[in-house]
Structure 1
């Protein structure tokens, strides 16, 4: 069977700030968005909080309206702020209970060529089981499967599943599989909590059971760990390490229960030697498929952006028994922008500009004799 994973970076809509560049390009906006959300969520606001909120709102383009170029402030009820005629913003709420609403990243439709190139990658992988990262939700993934895949000559998957995670922006993980690879038992971990009361997973760490035509039982855990895209480095690293520790615990529990075939796949948002990923990569019996002699990285060590070693953030980690069943594998980059001077890899003819890339991420695949 062929198992694959692909970060599609949303299918029909994407955060506007990310539709016009990379994570690094959008980082100033994302950092301000995270900081403002943190202040708005506090139970009570002091003078410094209010001053910080007003400053961040102005920097995010909200001085004149609740709709900025990249963010949207929803005020459903209560009083949060005033906009004096003389300019500026005045925060009038005493705390979070004084108003009902939210701060959101604005979405816009994805470039049509990019959407079709995403579908081409999903089709050309020819996977029996495909882990999907950054799908908006199950209805969207199902619609993409039914409508866009056939439009580019692909065959829709028989089974499509996404369990809503903890990310309110609609960045979830899911699984698609073919007729003879039904999705069996599923277990969500959205309700796993840290000691401070926060959810462990930014999205989820679902366990999907797949039974192969040979009756082998495979557990696929699809993940998307805390991004480096916004928020402080120390807090992001700590969150990602806590997530890696919890995944390791779940994996060890499966092994103790007698499950032989386990795959942890997805975008882990850090490099193999990083401290946050040590509990998972060095602290368990899981092995990165990149280390297998039959795996071809296409001449580039990374999976994101320029695909350098520091851009190796997508993974297929396999249990010992599953690693022993690997027959081949590789990195699929035809839907990624290859750069210029020189062009780093071959792409689809339809990919003429960076914004037409199916994703900034490569897809990974592995053939398993199970």
Structure 2
């Protein structure tokens, strides 16, 4: 037997992040994200009716791709847009008259007339914050580390090489269903080989994908020969509610995990499930199926230490318990310890947190690793 450390950490992007994700002003970002999604959905229409064109133009104004002054709508010529870019690769989407007193017109008749989309503008993550993220990862020192909200695999490789000193032998990320650069990935140390990878992005719920990102499945062999089936998740955000979507996602994860457990596999489900508990003894409403199934939450395992606060996000109240590690019964008896690691978490507050230890080098929220804590479990395998 040997000590194996497994952890989950929502890093909130490593090097670049959409400006609309700025958690210091959620009220500004949420309508931008809604407009982004609606425009790209309308842009896929086969035929643009006058009503669709009018709505698309209004959305581009909301996204500040267009500007409106005194009733005249023109293209925004800013080189560094506040919220978004309009990418136009082929064909013609709009026309702007030379007369500055006249408005831009959307002249495309439908999807077949042009190739393009709205892309969210990004800004660099604070360098100190990125280094703090690396410091958290180093101190947690997980053998198997699931990462949430990573922009892409090259960013993960760069982090491992430049800031972690090549600590991890295997670095993997499979693009999911979210096109904004918030995917889920995994890193494992030498001796923890990734035997197989399976993506679940194509599982449908009616016409729509079940998973907002993915429920990525990794089969990992430990140095002692034990095999772990690790399912990395990032459920639907709480923006706009999303409870029904998280309910369906929880049920699908339970189905996948249930089949693996029935086949006598060692299963770990972990990640940001985006819904907290109403109380210490009541599971999150839309995640209930996960807790009623063959898995057990790390928070219910004897010896798991949450510290002074029960949650993992921002102020870390119980309703902010968003990050989880759940294990199958075959691994529950292998559990030896676990904790919530908050040293890199400042949150949205203006003053330093007092309910948990933080790195003294952090002086404000912009320098935090993430507004999520890492969740860590130790197993004897």
* Residue 6 (structure 1) aligns with: 9
Deviates more, 1:104-113 or 1:11-20: 11-20
Deviates more, 1:211-220 or 1:350-359: 211-220
* Residue 320 (structure 1) aligns with: 329
> How far 1:219 moved relative to its partner?
0.8
The alpha-carbon distance between structure 1 residues 237 and 44, as it changes in their structure 2 partners (threshold 3 A), is: farther
1:28 equivalent among 25, 28, 31: 31
The alpha-carbon distance between structure 1 residues 23 and 302, as it changes in their structure 2 partners (threshold 3 A), is: farther
**Contact 1:66 1:72 (C-alpha < 8 Å) held by counterparts:** no
> How far 1:87 moved relative to its partner?
5.1
Give the secondary-structure state (helix, strand or coil) at the position aligned to 2:160.
helix
Moved over 4 A (4+): 22-25
> How far 1:191 moved relative to its partner?
2.2
Give the secondary-structure state (helix, strand or coil) at the position aligned to 2:38.
helix
**Contact 1:181 1:211 (C-alpha < 8 Å) held by counterparts:** yes
Matched, 1:47 2:41: no
2:94 equivalent among 81, 87, 97: 81
> How far 1:91 moved relative to its partner?
2.5
Mapped partners of 1:299, 1:61: distance in 2: 44
* Residue 120 (structure 1) aligns with: 135
> What CA RMSD, in Å, does the superposition of the two structures yield over aligned residues?
2.0
Give the secondary-structure state (helix, strand or coil) at the position aligned to 1:276.
helix
The alpha-carbon distance between structure 1 residues 264 and 342, as it changes in their structure 2 partners (threshold 3 A), is: closer
* Residue 180 (structure 1) aligns with: 191
1:204 equivalent among 192, 196, 214: 214
1:245 equivalent among 246, 251, 254: 251
* Residue 255 (structure 1) aligns with: 261
* Residue 314 (structure 2) aligns with: 305
Give the secondary-structure state (helix, strand or coil) at the position aligned to 2:48.
coil
Mapped partners of 1:4, 1:341: distance in 2: 25
Matched, 1:271 2:271: no
* Residue 164 (structure 1) aligns with: 175
> How far 1:246 moved relative to its partner?
1.6
1:147 equivalent among 162, 167, 175: 162
Give the secondary-structure state (helix, strand or coil) at the position aligned to 1:201.
coil
Matched, 1:366 2:377: yes
**Contact 1:135 1:172 (C-alpha < 8 Å) held by counterparts:** yes
Higher strand share: 2
Mapped partners of 1:102, 1:66: distance in 2: 17
Mapped partners of 1:14, 1:122: distance in 2: 19
Structure 1 gap segments, 5+ residues each: none
* Residue 105 (structure 1) aligns with: 120
Larger-gyration structure (1/2): 2
> How far 1:31 moved relative to its partner?
2.2
**Contact 2:352 2:364 (C-alpha < 8 Å) held by counterparts:** no
TM-score, normalised with respect to structure 1: 0.91
> How far 1:117 moved relative to its partner?
0.3
Mapped partners of 2:103, 2:55: distance in 1: 12
Q: 1:35-58 deviations in whole A, cap 9, x for unaligned?
A: 222322333333332222211211
> How far 1:342 moved relative to its partner?
5.9
Give the secondary-structure state (helix, strand or coil) at the position aligned to 2:336.
strand
Mapped partners of 1:302, 1:20: distance in 2: 18
* Residue 71 (structure 2) aligns with: none
**Contact 1:19 1:110 (C-alpha < 8 Å) held by counterparts:** no
Mapped partners of 1:56, 1:30: distance in 2: 11
* Residue 332 (structure 1) aligns with: 341
TM-score, normalised with respect to structure 2: 0.88
> How far 1:163 moved relative to its partner?
1.6
Mapped partners of 1:62, 1:18: distance in 2: 18
**Contact 1:159 1:183 (C-alpha < 8 Å) held by counterparts:** yes
> How far 1:20 moved relative to its partner?
6.3
